[in-house]
Amino acid sequence: MSLERRMFTRELKLIAARPGDILKPIWFLMLVISMVPLALAPDSDLLSEIGSAMIWVATLLALLLNAEHLFQSDFSDGVLEQWLFLDRPLVWLVGLKLITHWLFHVLPLILITPIAGIILSVPTDVLLALLVTLVIATPALTCFSGLGAALTLGSSRSGILGVLVMMPLFVPVVILAAGVLIRAMDGSDTLPLLALLGAFSVVAATFVPIVVSAAIRLNIGGSN
């Protein structure tokens, strides 16, 4: 069995062993979304106007929450340092890990957002735009939150620090996605912005794994 397939099956088995890792962010997302009408007003016009933005922010938080597990448990078990002895470059393995993370941990979160959209009475066409922006933007977000997780591996009580450190870097993505949603709301052309968002994701997915592997290498070198 090739190393790539081994990593993939291992990830699947880990999910089967710890279903909470996937369920908790979804739970979190739905909980935050349910809080919005309670904190604001059950007025559906108001909700539909801010709903898509709320879902975006909540997804962002949920995404960062589950990125914390990306490397932490493998690092403290000493499995992560074994990656260096496998006959693949570390960058490649990091890239694979980020891809599996996106597939198994981020995609479920995106798939749940229509339900969140329905309960916040977001109009269907906006909801569709929301889904598209999430699918296009999350690769970049996954890479950056992975970097946050990798940078804070070395600190014993990192907790939410990875989130705090990486959040400012999400600004361009959030702004572009919001631009798409605004245009979708008044029915104008969203394609140019989506292309820009996609470009950002592609660039991030190309370069950030290199930085992530450097950060991991650094933290392995410092632990004992």
Task: State the residues that interact with other proteins by CB under 8 A.
Answer: 1, 3, 6-7, 9-10, 13-14, 17-18, 73-74, 76-79, 81-82, 84-87, 147, 151-152, 154-158, 161, 164-169, 171-172, 175-176, 178-179, 182, 200, 208, 211, 214-215, 218-222, 224
For residue 163, the minimal CB distance to other proteins (Å) is 10
What is the CA angle 183-103-55, rounded to 5?
Answer: 35
For residue 125, the minimal CB distance to other proteins (Å) is 19
Q: What tokens were used for 207?
A: 């370069």
- Choice between 30 and 50, CB closer to other proteins: 50
Instruction: Convert 145-154 to b/e letters by CB count within 10 Å (16 or more is b).
Output: bbbbbbbbbb
- Choice between 41 and 86, CB closer to other proteins: 86
- Choice between 30 and 174, CB closer to other proteins: 174
- Choice between 38 and 85, CB closer to other proteins: 85
For residue 155, the minimal CB distance to other proteins (Å) is 4
For residue 215, the minimal CB distance to other proteins (Å) is 6
Helices (H), the chain: 3-17, 20-39, 44-67, 69-77, 79-82, 90-101, 107-119, 124-151, 161-166, 171-185, 191-222
For residue 67, the minimal CB distance to other proteins (Å) is 15
The Cα–Cα gap between 62 and 67 comes to 9
- Choice between 29 and 136, CB closer to other proteins: 136
Cβ proximity of 180 and 197 under 8 Å: yes
H or E stretch covering 123: none
